[in-house]
Amino acid sequence: MCLGIPMRVTEINENKAICEQSGTRVEAYIDMLDDVRIGDYVLIHAGFAIKKLSEEDATETIRLLSEVLSQDTR
């Protein structure tokens, strides 16, 4: 039940936005976010956009991983 779907905002009408993802279109309330723009990625849950998404940054895991993998095996 706690699963949101990332979608792209394609239209905004007052407090509602049309969001799309792989051909699926839904209308969602954007009352819970500030400053939503067309083109933004948002997390949709139960008809509301609940979070604005940013680009994934995996630098930390990659750094830690290469640290661990470069050590000699036990």
Partner 1 sequence: MKPDISGIIEGIKRLTPKKRVRIMEVCGTHTVAIAKSGIKDILPEEIKLVSGPGCPVCVTPQEYIDRAIWLSKQKDIIITTFGDLMRVPGTEESLSSAKAEGADIRVLYSPAGAVEIARENPSKTVVFLAVGFETTIPTITGTLEIAIREKIKNLFILCAHKIVPPALEVLASSEDLMIDGFILPGHVSAVIGIRPYEFLSRIHRKACAISGFEPYQILEAIFLILRQISGNQFRIANPYNSTVDYEGNTKAQKSISRFFIPSDSVWRGIGNIPSSGLALREEFSYFDIGTRISFPDIQSREPKGCRCGDVLKGIIEPSECPLFGKVCTYENPVGACMVSSEGSCAAYYRYRKKL
Q: Which one among 10, 20, 38, 46 touches partner 1, defined by CB under 8 A?
A: 46
Question: CA 44, CA 41: separation in Å to the nearest integer?
Answer: 10
Question: CA 70, CA 66: separation in Å to the nearest integer?
Answer: 6
Which residue is associated with the tokens 């095996």? 73
- Regarding 56 and contact with partner 1 (CB under 8 A), the answer is yes
Q: Which one among 23, 34, 37, 39 touches partner 1, defined by CB under 8 A?
A: 34
Give least dist CB 5 to partner 1, A: 10
DSSP letter for each residue of 14-53: TTEEEEEETTEEEEEE-TTSSS--TT-EEEEETTEEEEE-
Q: Which one among 17, 29, 37, 39 touches partner 1, defined by CB under 8 A?
A: 29
- Regarding 48 and contact with partner 1 (CB under 8 A), the answer is yes
- Regarding 45 and contact with partner 1 (CB under 8 A), the answer is yes
